[in-house]
Structure 1
Amino acid sequence: MLSAVVAGALTWSVPAQAHGSVVDPASRAYRCWSVWGSHFQDPAMQTEDPMCWQAWQANTNTMWNWMSALRNGLAGQFQAQTPDGKLCSNNIAENDSLNRAGAWKATDVGSNFSVHVHDQASHGADYFKAYVSKQGYDPETQTLGWGNLDYLTQTGRYAPATDYTFDLSTSGYTGHHVLFVIWQASHMDQTYMWCSDVNFG
């Protein structure tokens, strides 16, 4: 038992793969790790944060490896290679818990806000693409499909760095939505996709 706990702690402090994620508004896996990573055995997670708890129960690596939701060789065919209902996991089976509808904790945002991506490996970006779920879509009862998204923007290139930010401008959104971001890394054909829960005031 003790060896398992120590192994888990080592995985948390020294990630197996160093890549990146949206850290603000926090992606689902990153938020679970940032809130519960230092006390993942706390039974309060089940009642206080049930969506993180179910993700932890389904696969602990979903939270530990929050920075590694990547696929190689998509050649820009994001929609064709990512079925509806699998967007939040980037169609990675071990992260399927991130696709589940439910009461994910959301970050409060205004109609105009910035996205902060942390890139541990300084891969750079060919671009970021950002979408937000349509008004009327309910992330607590519906999984996310491409038809549930409104396109917001595609950025230009970013030179390799550890942090990138870009601004989003929206209108007409209220309540709980999903921000969906695609990161096309520059060092190779490597694609990351994340869902961040946001609450438009």
Structure 2
Amino acid sequence: MLTPTRLLTVAVAAVLLLVTAPAGAANAHGSTIDPASRNYGCWKRWGNDFQNPAMATADPMCWQAWQADTTAMWNWNSLYRENVRGNHQAAVPNGTLCSAGNTGGTRYSALDTPGNWVATRVPNAAAFTVVAHDQARHGAKYFRVYVSRQGFNPLTQRLSWSDLILLKDTGPIGPGVGETTNDPVLGGVSVKIPVSAPGLTGRHIVYTVWEAGHADQVYYWCADVNFG
């Protein structure tokens, strides 16, 4: 039988768990992991050292994102909107594409900030692969992969729908389809999407829209790349 002191200890521990656990941890979903989405990349590089002041100079865009709201990185797998009904441009206005239209209030807003985000080097824009991680094995009604047009500058401009070129619409993908991973943090499956953007060079944003297969739940991810 628990004593009053023991009951109080258990209750306090439960409250602390609720306060400190990432909001999306129990309902894991996913992100693009290669090229890494902005908040997944920030979590991957700095999650174990997010209070290190060296980040301010080594990775300034991640630094400003961590300072704005740490939960945006801890919840890298929960950047989604519900009840979009296929009208992405209404749900996610221009200038807010990287934050999924400021989903969750201002939690993800720093992801829209233009600047020198760490970019994945892609040697050949004409043939590369986007890896989207389906952590909860939802499957997809579709993945749509876009890339920013030549002349768009992610260092100084916020992303708009008119800046995007559609590279691939996968159509439906069944629940659990993809490559499994032994990574205990990721779990789930990774879906590899081959795409081609011939003629593009320099800095761009690869923008991926994933409508999950189990509900009207749509994820929006910005990933910075450097072609060539």
Match of 2:119 in 1: 106
Q: Give, in angstroms, the shift of residue 40 of structure 1.
A: 0.9
Q: Give, in angstroms, the shift of residue 173 of structure 1.
A: 0.6
Q: Which amino acid letter does the alignment assign opposite residue 148 of structure 1?
A: D
For 1:197 and 1:89, locate their aligned partners in 2 and report how far apart those are by CA, in whole Å.
Answer: 14
Match of 2:47 in 1: 37
2:56 to 42, 46, 50: 46
> Is structure 2 residue 211 aligned with structure 1 residue 184?
yes
Instruction: List aligned pairs for 1:151-162, cutoff 5 A.
Output: 151-161=166-176, 162=189
> Is structure 2 residue 108 aligned with structure 1 residue 95?
yes
| Residues 4-61 of structure 1: CA deviation (Å, up to 9, x unaligned) | xx97xx636x825311000000000000000000111111111100100100111111
RMSD (CA atoms): 1.9
Are the equivalent residues in 2 in contact too, given 1:16–1:65 (CA < 8 A)? no
> Is structure 2 residue 191 aligned with structure 1 residue 164?
yes
Q: Which amino acid letter does the alignment assign opposite residue 197 of structure 2?
A: T
Equivalent residues, number: 196
Instruction: List aligned pairs for 1:118-157, cutoff 5 A.
Output: 118-157=133-172
Bigger Rg, which one: 2
Q: Which amino acid letter does the alignment assign opposite residue 131 of structure 1?
A: Y
For 1:71 and 1:81, locate their aligned partners in 2 and report how far apart those are by CA, in whole Å.
Answer: 8
For 2:63 and 2:26, locate their aligned partners in 1 and report how far apart those are by CA, in whole Å.
Answer: 22
For 1:101 and 1:41, locate their aligned partners in 2 and report how far apart those are by CA, in whole Å.
Answer: 22
Are the equivalent residues in 2 in contact too, given 1:118–1:164 (CA < 8 A)? yes
1:21 to 26, 31, 36: 31
Q: Give, in angstroms, the shift of residue 81 of structure 1.
A: 1.6
| Residues 83-132 of structure 1: CA deviation (Å, up to 9, x unaligned) | 10000011123101000000001001122111111111111001111111
TM-score (norm 1): 0.92
For 1:117 and 1:152, locate their aligned partners in 2 and report how far apart those are by CA, in whole Å.
Answer: 15
Q: Using the aligned pairs only, state the percent identity.
A: 49
Are the equivalent residues in 2 in contact too, given 1:129–1:183 (CA < 8 A)? yes
For 1:81 and 1:19, locate their aligned partners in 2 and report how far apart those are by CA, in whole Å.
Answer: 20
* 4+ residue segments displaced more than 6 Å: none
Segments of structure 2 that go 5 or more residues without pairing to the other structure are 1-12, 177-188
For 1:175 and 1:168, locate their aligned partners in 2 and report how far apart those are by CA, in whole Å.
Answer: 17
Are the equivalent residues in 2 in contact too, given 1:17–1:65 (CA < 8 A)? no
Q: Report the secondary structure of 1:38's partner residue.
A: coil
For 1:94 and 1:69, locate their aligned partners in 2 and report how far apart those are by CA, in whole Å.
Answer: 10
For 2:128 and 2:59, locate their aligned partners in 1 and report how far apart those are by CA, in whole Å.
Answer: 25
Are the equivalent residues in 2 in contact too, given 1:178–1:196 (CA < 8 A)? yes
Q: Which amino acid letter does the alignment assign opposite residue 118 of structure 2?
A: K
